[in-house]
Amino acid sequence: MASIVIMGVAGCGKSSLAALLAQTKGWVLIEGDDHHSAASRAKMRDGIALTDADRDGWLNRLSELLQTHPGGVVLTCSALKRAYRERLRQAAPGLQFVFLEITPQQALARVTARAQNHFFSSSLVESQFATLEDPTGEPGVLRLDATADLPQLQSAALSWLSANTSH
């Protein structure tokens, strides 16, 4: 059974789509943000972009979690760089990615709107786009417009998953 990563920059809607897909598929939901170190969370709260070194332990933990749940997982993870996606693919062969694409202006508006309820500083949105390596064209990646409504995103992701996973 395959697992899936809902990926993209901050504010693209990873958590909303992932929760819906996990519920629909009966898969475990892993919220990637929950596994950042306290130091990394503090950096992001203070508007300091994470480095590859900061993300190393986090990616190791997410990889372990993927391996712990072979029955299917929906993971939220920015997975901004191809190297990060490759690490996750190594942990879970056949891993699929749904890339929620959004503009910098849309992401900033969404991150600003949730500022009271989330540790991620809106000042980091620009760095997310600077770090993002577009996954379009990589194997096992579906690209969706993050501004589509949630039922539409869910339907597109479920159709794509059923067409692209072995049963």
Give the DSSP per-residue string, the chain: ---EEEE-STTS-HHHHHHHHHHHHTPEEEEGGGGS-HHHHHHHHTTPPPPHHHHHHHHHHHHHHHHH-TT-EEEE----SHHHHHHHHHHSTT-EEEEEE--HHHHHHHHHHTTTT-S--GGGHHHHHHH----TTSTTEEEEETTS-HHHHHHHHHHHHHHHS--
How many structural domains compose the chain?
Answer: 1
What confidence score (pLDDT) does residue 125 get?
Answer: 79
What confidence score (pLDDT) does residue 118 get?
Answer: 52
What confidence score (pLDDT) does residue 122 get?
Answer: 63
Tell me the CATH number at 80: 3.40.50.300
**Residue 90 lies in domain:** 4-164
Residue numbers in the chain where pLDDT is lower than 70? 1, 114-123, 165-167
Q: Give the number of other CB atoms < 10 A from CB of residue 110.
A: 19
**Over the stretch 42-81, which tens digit does the pLDDT of each residue have?**
887 777 878 889 889 889 999 999 999 878 899 999 999 9
What confidence score (pLDDT) does residue 167 get?
Answer: 44
What confidence score (pLDDT) does residue 97 get?
Answer: 97
